[in-house]
Structure 1
């Protein structure tokens, strides 16, 4: 009974950690108008602050995998959650963009440590369809955090000042840390702790799967990041912004679980292609037709149904004994692209003189997921 409770307790704690991750990541986007007024930021600067949360992944993800092999998964995740809390406090105490950015880097490094280990922890405990379903829960928890951020952070900033939103992110990380430490139990069939690099074939497959995740999130993050500024610039009331972000985030978890079920019935290729095209269409459509409620609903439901498939591909591209380092490689690839894409899309918005430029750039980048996906599939079959 203790093992069952511990395994699902760990899942619940990691789910809460993913909610905290999304809540923290969205903070700059949610506070975009407030921070722009307070510090005179343009879209490119805001995009840079958004991307700073991703930058630590370039340097931290692979070392986290090796460190976990030496000291264990539990300590790496706990340290990561503590860093997420500390970084949010640092941003809350900042007096300018540099201080906010420093806190974002620290929090981002902690989020990397937690994220790198989640797939490995789940794959040590579950296999088959149960693994697919539970990874869908973890992936779907992240946008719930983004949705909570969009609903709550502006209100906190209005009532108590913008630092209150960062303090709320600290509290979320501390709650996740406490629940994780309280429920952790070792995996019954954990891989041995070694320090070997995965073989070239596994490394290549993991890198390509990381590129798929990067392309997927080009649309995902930039839609959520620039939508508040778009709605403000086009004169939409606050209730529209709240509704759009609710549609765009809260529907993700059931959509991802639905995607897993559809993949079992119709095959992952069809689900992936349909999800990618719908995702790009909903983001690009936001730039063409001023119908944010429609695009938010499409984006938050069917357009996100393939997200869990990508994480499953990345996790299973490496053998169990190589999975900690393999996920480090996966997220290093992702963060290399993810750190620069918000600034790139922000630059597109500046050139267009409107956030619609960011939407068009993000939609185009997201379509790169298709060739990367089929490259991975063909290579995996050829090398099997």
Structure 2
């Protein structure tokens, strides 16, 4: 297949399997509690284990992809995810559930890094913000599908069937990736040319920090928003339904932001303005009774920076450095996503309210615009040096 939009469709569906598998534990949490005699803290640990390998595997994951190639690395990652699901579907020992979850997460890290690099290969210099926005949108799409499908499967056939379903979907991903072809202009990198210069490395680190901090802020809504509403007397079901509005609306706002960034050629302006508005809305949410209005606004605005931010690495990475560069990018992202919720949880426990977690989210999003300015300065200086 040589159509870049066809390739993007393949990458979208394959990446969707990560979100689907991630949500599989939360979808059957009550069943797991009964089956294994564990509590919510254990379920929370099992959920969080999925992201843990990212801190140590994202950077070498880029090197692995550069060494063995796009398709072999992607297939290996999907096989690891499939194996993890099969372990969780067939074991009755909690420790093996954790081992299966870690294996799945490790595969997901390798897959995330590699798929992002592959998408950038095809769209660098042409509709990159739009493409990355569509690519990123596979996450809320995968979670939304899992919320519709997995609870019914779990209720009818048990937790094992849910994990088998996740494994079957990743196996389908293996078949799909067989149709992937690299872009014609991509040449095999040499060892010498695959080294990042210092400005490029710094730029990728800053870009990864931006993506991590923005996602930490966004995650505060899903992680602590229901608790915040429960503190106000909302039922758990009503609170969850209200918070889910953000996810459903982001399915529209994420690609819309990418399109607008490419259409008007001002990705930084769009990302900065949207980030400032989201920070304001996050700070406003714990202090207002207009909950639904604020959540709708977050959903409509919050997705706009995704495409522009995800397109940042393409500004400094060439074909020969993308695998390593995306490894650095995602190392920062996973570190932020691991630490952010943990810090927010401690602050919320100390303050006795989930509102402080939303305030922390507002601060992390507010940190993104100055970092975007710093990124732009790095790229500008690097470009001037290259011309001189």
Q: Which TM-score bucket, shorter chain as reference?
A: 0.7 to 0.9
Give the equivalent residue in structure 2 for 1:299.
298
| RMSD between superposed Cα atoms in Å | 2.9
SS in 1 for 2:321: helix
SS in 1 for 2:332: helix
Match of 2:185 among 171, 180, 189: 189
Greater shift in the superposed pair: 208-217 or 135-144: 135-144
Match of 1:140 among 130, 137, 154: 137
Give the equivalent residue in structure 1 for 2:39.
40
Deviation of the 1:28 alpha carbon = 4.5
Q: Deviations over 1:178-234 (max 9, x none)?
A: 2222x2223211132333331222111111100001101102233223445556664
Deviation of the 1:336 alpha carbon = 1.9
Give the equivalent residue in structure 1 for 2:220.
222
Q: Deviations over 1:53-110 (max 9, x none)?
A: 2221222222222222222101111111222222233344455764443333211211
Change (3 A) 1:39 1:221: same
C-alpha distance in structure 1 between counterparts of 2:177 and 2:29, whole Å: 32
Deviation of the 1:323 alpha carbon = 0.9
SS in 1 for 2:79: helix
TM-score scaled to structure 2, two decimals?
A: 0.85
C-alpha distance in structure 2 between counterparts of 1:125 and 1:198, whole Å: 20
C-alpha distance in structure 2 between counterparts of 1:258 and 1:19, whole Å: 19
Greater shift in the superposed pair: 259-268 or 11-20: 259-268
Is it true that 1:212 corresponds to 2:202 in the alignment?
no
Asked whether the equivalents of residues 78 and 170 of structure 2 are also in contact (C-alpha less than 8 Å), the reply is: yes
Asked whether the equivalents of residues 32 and 229 of structure 1 are also in contact (C-alpha less than 8 Å), the reply is: no
Is it true that 1:255 corresponds to 2:253 in the alignment?
yes
Deviation of the 1:160 alpha carbon = 3.9
C-alpha distance in structure 2 between counterparts of 1:165 and 1:351, whole Å: 36
Asked whether the equivalents of residues 22 and 50 of structure 2 are also in contact (C-alpha less than 8 Å), the reply is: yes
Aligned 1:353-364 pairs, distance under 5 A: 353-364=352-363
Change (3 A) 1:203 1:266: closer
Give aligned pairs, total.
Answer: 377
Deviation of the 1:138 alpha carbon = 0.4
Listed as ranges, the gaps of 5+ residues in structure 2 are: 384-388
TM-score scaled to structure 1, two decimals?
A: 0.86
Change (3 A) 1:41 1:324: same
SS in 1 for 2:264: helix
Aligned 1:211-290 pairs, distance under 5 A: 211-228=209-226, 234-236=233-235, 238=237, 241-242=240-241, 244-245=243-244, 247-263=245-261, 264-265=263-264, 267-289=266-288
C-alpha distance in structure 1 between counterparts of 2:56 and 2:128, whole Å: 28
SS in 1 for 2:183: coil
Is it true that 1:176 corresponds to 2:145 in the alignment?
no
Higher Rg = 2
